[in-house]
Amino acid sequence: MNDDYLYQQIASSIKRDIANGLYKVGDTLPAVRTYSEIWHCTIGTVQRAFQLLVAQGIVSTHIGKGTVVINNLSSEPENSLRNANLIHRAETLFLDLITSGYTPVEIENAFNIALARWRFVSQSSEYTDQKILRFAGSHDLVVAWMATHFQEIAPGYNLNVSFSGSVSGLLSLAENKCAIAGSHIYDGQTGVYNLTILKSLFPNESFALITLAQRNLGLIVKRGNPKSIQKLSDLTREDVTFVNRHSGSGTRLFFDSELTRQNIESNQIKGYFNQKTTHSEVAREIAQSQADAGIGLEAAAISNDLDFIHLTLEQYDLIVKAVTFNTEPIQKLLTWIKSPEFVNLLSHFGGYKTSLSGNVRWTDQ
């Protein structure tokens, strides 16, 4: 990929992590070498990204102290777009509930009760309390379901979910900001998911990789595929508008590597920089005729009544530190993943395969 674009993508990914609260004012960012290994680029490219952030007044760099966050981005334009997207999603849910027969008063009361419950749970216990497990990582529809049903999986525990992308999830796990990371980063040289990058980034730590499921990943298109999109090269056509996943997500890393392998330039794709945080957002963009195609999960296509063009079967892992693996909630989660109930749940979502679900690999074995 062209480094002139890549350093900007790295900077945007870091800005998104700061805006989402992964790094706060005063926090030190991971080292330049760490980012160069994650993005498979030169140290110079990462340094250009850091220089851009310094010029924008977001971070400062000092010899011997690393790169420190100095701006929480509360006034950044990206936050305005984020808030606008949140309002749009709230309005969509509101209209859906209205058409289902609920009154505005009933909806408002339900939201107030749900918000009060969330505030009680999030404020009454810290991460060290171990009654709340924090998840950070790649978006997945099953993980989103787990967030609202975790009491059924591990009674007495709640799951706090932040879909920040595979890369951010792994960094968050390494820095003890979450207990579970969700990732699906593929290494083309070894043909395995997640293991290579973990060994590369954290050679002296032991991690357990619990396979949640395999997922069908590909192109999401409108019902009936009116633009007759069949392969990645079709995305370069003038009549096709694309919607992408955000930089730093495992899906984006796969998509970019496929573009490189097939000698397709990203600037040939209209909408390449139209980036969404979740597979569901990509699907909704297409369902609402804002785009003709997007990269995402078959499960997201199914839930939005869209068509799907298969590209690959990927592996999604839940990653925990060795010291956390034998704790009660993780063991209950592992038992649930191996259960018939889990298999039945995934069959309802569609687009998942469970033959490897519950398998455990270790980085030090």
User: Domain range for residue 197?
Assistant: 127-365
Q: Are 64 and 145 in the same domain? A: no
In this prediction, residue 236 carries a pLDDT of 96
pLDDT interval class at 148 (50, 70, 90): confident
Q: Are 176 and 225 in the same domain? A: yes
For the whole model, what pTM was predicted?
Answer: 0.69
Most confident of 69-73, 79-83, 256-260, 317-321: 317-321
In this prediction, residue 153 carries a pLDDT of 93
List CB contacts of 169: < 8 A, sequence separation 6 or more.
135, 136, 137, 138, 178, 181, 182, 183, 319
Query: CATH no. for residue 18?
Result: 1.10.10.10
Is 90 exceeded by the pLDDT of residue 350?
yes
Give the tens place of pLDDT for each residue, 187-220: 878 889 999 999 988 888 999 999 999 999 999 9
Q: Are 328 and 241 in the same domain? A: yes
Better-predicted residue by pLDDT, 354 or 95: 354
Better-predicted residue by pLDDT, 240 or 95: 240
Q: How many domains does the chain have?
A: 3
Q: Are 19 and 83 in the same domain? A: no
Query: CATH no. for residue 182?
Result: 3.40.190.290
Q: Are 100 and 192 in the same domain? A: no
Q: Are 80 and 62 in the same domain? A: no
Last residue of a domain, one of 61, 95, 124: 124
Q: Are 133 and 160 in the same domain? A: yes
In this prediction, residue 88 carries a pLDDT of 64
Tokens describing residue 128: 């060290």
Measured in degrees and rounded to the nearest 5, phi and psi for residue 174 equal: -60, -30
pLDDT interval class at 125 (50, 70, 90): very low
* Percent of the residues in the chain that have a pLDDT greater than 70, as a whole number: 86
Is 80 exceeded by the pLDDT of residue 290?
yes
Nearest one of 295, 214, 288, 286 to 259, comparing CA atoms: 295
pLDDT interval class at 325 (50, 70, 90): very high
**What is the pLDDT averaged over residues 272-290?**
91
